[in-house]
A and B are shown apart, each in its own frame.
Chain A
Amino acid sequence: MNVLQQTINGLIIGHAFALVAVGWTLLLGSARLVNFGHGQMYMVGAFVAWWVMRTTGLPYLLAVPCAVLAGAALGALMQKLMLRLTLQQNLVSLMIATLGFGQLLEGAAGFAWGPRPQTLASPLQAIELRWDDVWLTAQDLLLVVATIAVFAALHLVLKRTVFGSAVRMVAEDPKLTQLGGLDVARVYMGIFAFEGAAVAFAACLVAPRTPILTSMGFEQVIMTFVVVVLGGIGSVGGSYAAGLGLGLFTAFFGALVSPAYTTAAVFVVLIAVMVLRPGELASAGGFAR
């Protein structure tokens, strides 16, 4: 086994996990909400980019912003439909509603784009960067840089901006936020739009690595869930670290044991962590830390 190569692979996969999860991290940390349609929104993001490229002939790098806009619109629409449940913080209904929304997206995507695997072709995927016996693609490098940029930007926005303060206030006490003259529904709308845009952006960067299928959403939502929970519910830095850790674990487990059992092994880790440190995870206070 080439340890250096596996480390690089793990870091790349880890950045992919983290980037896919960043929207949900904000969603959970601020709005205390879940979105089990997250994986299908990932799928739609990838397919919108693919569809834009195919129908308009736009290059990959211009198809990405189209998909991000579509993702933001989808997130905002989702929030519009579920506003009442959101304001009531009705978690069980939200889980079911978002799960249903995801299934709707999957059905609609299957209807529109068919069941066959497609390729979201990025020109960067073909550019290989080599040193001695280790290598990565320019797409991998873009993914890593973009992930770091998104996490850094989110951290700064939450800490330094008015919108960041609004998100932190909604996270702590949405009712009290209203008394400050802020329209909580619009804050939630912004959070959902970010969630949709971020997952579509992640899909555009991650999906060129493998063929895309309209049924690929489920696995994404599962891994995102693991990243967010391991990261300490809603913690931005924690999710980044958890994504990287999970990526390294996936790479080395795949190399040393078998890639076939990676998902099962990840859940063994998740359950072990939850059982051994339940207090810390349960009390993780979103952006408090």
Chain B
Amino acid sequence: MSPVLAVEDLLVTHGGLPAVQVPALALAPATLSGVVGANGAGKSTLVNAIAGWSRGSPAVRGRVLLGGKDVSGLPAHERARRGITLVPEGHGAFLRLSVEDNLRAVREPDGTGRRSFTVADVFALFPRLEERRVNPAGSLSGGERQMLALGRALRMGPRVLLLDEPSIGLAPRLVLALLQTVRRLVDDGLTVLLVEQNVRAAAEVVDTLLLLERGRVVANGPVEIMRNDPRIVDAYMGTSHG
């Protein structure tokens, strides 16, 4: 099947220094791909570049194809409307808006046949959020905020969901619950690229794993093979972790 999202000859530089260099990357429909690597390997830079978004001002070259169409020239909000939905690292919700306002204040897809969650759908998926619907997002726990950020993303009817370190700062039990929720969404047809520092947890749910080192893809393949790859085992699967 043709990929939902493809990246070609991507080069991201910060102040002239290359940060990420990915010649080719493709995401098949309804798959969960994990991006792992050390801090500073360029994982966030990669997903941000796909979304055409950054808090800094990197220079991005190369092509991003969504359903075969080149979206590289489009600004972040246009890519978001077309279905490249990024949940950025840190917080993906507005802390001063209520839970419900956070869920309402996104641009829903307009008649493109994409499946988008209603606010009620999000509450059905995360009942905890419904209990706190009138509370400002700033009063939520870390786990609830991640639920809210994910809920906002689902409201937009993503064709590709880019999740940047959703587990950061969460208790191990919550990490697994969150990743299992993502897995269920993928089983229902969503395509997800997941940046995850917790490699052990990621390996439990992803279909493929991509290892990034100093901005380059050094290994990429089905998780069954990758979890035995010595580069992954040595660096990330040591018994002292997770």
Other-chain contact of B96, A179, A182, A285 (Cβ < 8 Å) = A285
* Cβ contact within 8 Å between B77 and A181: yes
The 0/1 profile, CB within 8 Å of A marked 1, for residues 105-119 of chain B is 111000000000000
Interface SS of chain B: loop
A219 at the B interface (CB under 8 A) = no
* Cβ contact within 8 Å between B92 and A179: yes
B-contacting 9-mer, from A12-20, A47-55, A170-178, A267-275: A170-178
Known: A179-B76, A179-B88, A180-B80. A173 touches B94 (CB 8 A): yes
* Cβ contact within 8 Å between B105 and A178: no
Interface residues of A in 123-178 (CB under 8 A from B): 162, 165-166, 168-169, 171-173, 175-176, 178
Which residues from B are CB-within-8-Å of A184?
A: 77
Count residues of B near A (Cβ-Cβ below 8 Å).
25
Interface residues of B in 20-53 (CB under 8 A from A): 51, 53
Whole-angstrom CA separation of A184 from B91 in the bound complex: 19
Which residues from B are CB-within-8-Å of A176?
A: 88, 91-92, 94
Whole-angstrom CA separation of A285 from B91 in the bound complex: 18
Known: A165-B101, A165-B104, A169-B105. A178 touches B80 (CB 8 A): yes
Which residues from B are CB-within-8-Å of A178?
A: 53, 75-77, 80
A287 at the B interface (CB under 8 A) = yes
Whole-angstrom CA separation of A104 from B106 in the bound complex: 39
Whole-angstrom CA separation of A288 from B81 in the bound complex: 27
* Cβ contact within 8 Å between A183 and B105: no
B152 at the A interface (CB under 8 A) = yes
Name A171's closest neighbour in chain B (CB-CB): B96
**A176, A180, A285, most chain B CB atoms within 10 A:** A180
* Cβ contact within 8 Å between A180 and B156: yes
Which residues from A are CB-within-8-Å of B86?
A: 179
* Cβ contact within 8 Å between B107 and A180: yes
Additional A-B contacts beyond A176-B94, A181-B80, A183-B75 (7; CB < 8 A): A172-B95, A175-B53, A178-B76, A179-B76, A180-B107, A181-B106, A181-B107
A-B contacts, 18 listed (Cβ < 8 Å):
A162-B104, A165-B105, A166-B105, A168-B96, A168-B97, A176-B91, A176-B92, A178-B77, A179-B77, A179-B80, A179-B92, A180-B106, A180-B107, A181-B81, A181-B106, A181-B107, A183-B77, A184-B77
**Residues of chain A whose beta carbon lies under 8 Å from any beta carbon of chain B:** 162, 165-166, 168-169, 171-173, 175-176, 178-184, 285, 287-288
